[in-house]
Amino acid sequence: MKKIFTLILGVILVYSNSTIAQDSLAKAQTIEVKQKVWATIFASYYTTFKGEYKPKSAFEMPTALFGYSATFSDKLKATLIYDVTRTTNAIKVTDENGDPMNVSYNEGSKYTAFLKMAEIKYSPARFIDLKIGQLLNTQYLTTQDKFWGYRYIYFTYQEVHRYGNPADFGAQVDLNYGDKLLNQISVTNGDGPFKSQDENGKFLYSNNLEIYPVKGLILKLYADYSPESDTAKLAKDKYTFSAFAGFKTDKFRVAVEYNKVVNYGYRENSDYYGISTFGSYTINPKFDVLVRYDYINRSFPLNLEKAHLIIAGLQYQPMKHLLCSVNLRNLSPADRLMVYGSFGITF
């Protein structure tokens, strides 16, 4: 009887030790996923003091964003972002003489949720990142937008004037040379986040180079090439170039950028270019003053448009996460003067 009892006890102990060992091994092999959820809301109100603009006053919702990221290790990360914007454009129909015709249609919501980012990032080595999916645009969104830092007040120049898509489906290679140099090479559909690839399968090729020579200083050069996807004789290949320089400390920031698009909209002799410069100063932890100047130049085959935009404002941060601003905006030669109340929260 004792022998049987001893045998049973031995089997139980062996099984228990085996189970404990397997559990320990499973725990050791389990990957701890670091998850993060965040959201951003930008809201504003404006009224027009001078000049023609319709509507004269209105409440706006420039951004309502929801994001999620999962970091599996130092080598693997996934990010998903949804934003809202106007994904449809007004329809214009003309007759055979080119005269506009009245059309009745449902335009759709101006605040449609869309996939802004869905990125898989794999880093096989410290100096290289491989990305695929819906990628944020390195043209202006990943650098100038962050450096500007007042997106809830106004978007950066290239986004306002649509020099490029905010995001696109494609693949990207990031090459990091220490903390002094970053080179990003991308191949994307070139059709933006609202459309699938064109039927001719033409891609957009881009290269973004960033240099950080000293602390706080950034120099950035970007260029892309997008072949026309339309077989029409009037369609031409599109080229984009931008140069950005900025310097930032704990108290102030200044920056200037030059941007140009050749054959905007794949139309020959439709060349856009412009300059944007801005600066801000932190008076204390609660107050910033800021000023910005944009020069807009749009060249069409039979027309030339020039404009100047000046923004000046005060930012107040009453508590962590919440930003408030009163800012004036003057657009000439339209001679339009507007005052904005801008609000932003990130959590």
CB environment 29-60: b (16+ within 10 A), e (fewer): eeeeeeeeeeebbbbbebebeeeebeeeeeee
Residue 101 falls inside a structural domain: no
The pLDDT tens digits for 71-81 are 999 999 999 99
Domain total for the chain? Answer: 1
Residue 23 lies in a domain: no
* Percent of the chain whose pLDDT exceeds 90: 66
pTM: 0.84
Query: Cα separation of 24 and 172, whole Å?
Result: 39
pLDDT digits (tens, 9 = 90+) for 6-51: 444 344 334 444 544 455 445 545 678 999 999 999 999 999 988 7
Contact (CB, 8 A) for 314 and 326: yes
Q: What range does the domain containing 162 cover?
A: 32-87+108-346
Residue 312 lies in a domain: yes
What are 241's two structure tokens? 């170039």
Please indicate, yes or no, if residue 8 is contained in any of the structural domains: no
Q: Is residue 293 part of a domain?
A: yes
Of 184 and 233, the structure prediction assigns the larger pLDDT to 184
Please check whether residue 94 lies inside any domain of the structure.
Answer: no
Q: Cα dihedral sign for 117, 120, 125, 129?
A: negative
C-alpha to C-alpha distance for 236 and 225, rounded to whole angstroms: 11
In a domain, 211, yes or no: yes
Among 161, 173, 95, CA closest to 127: 173
CATH number for the domain spanning 143: value is: 2.40.160.10
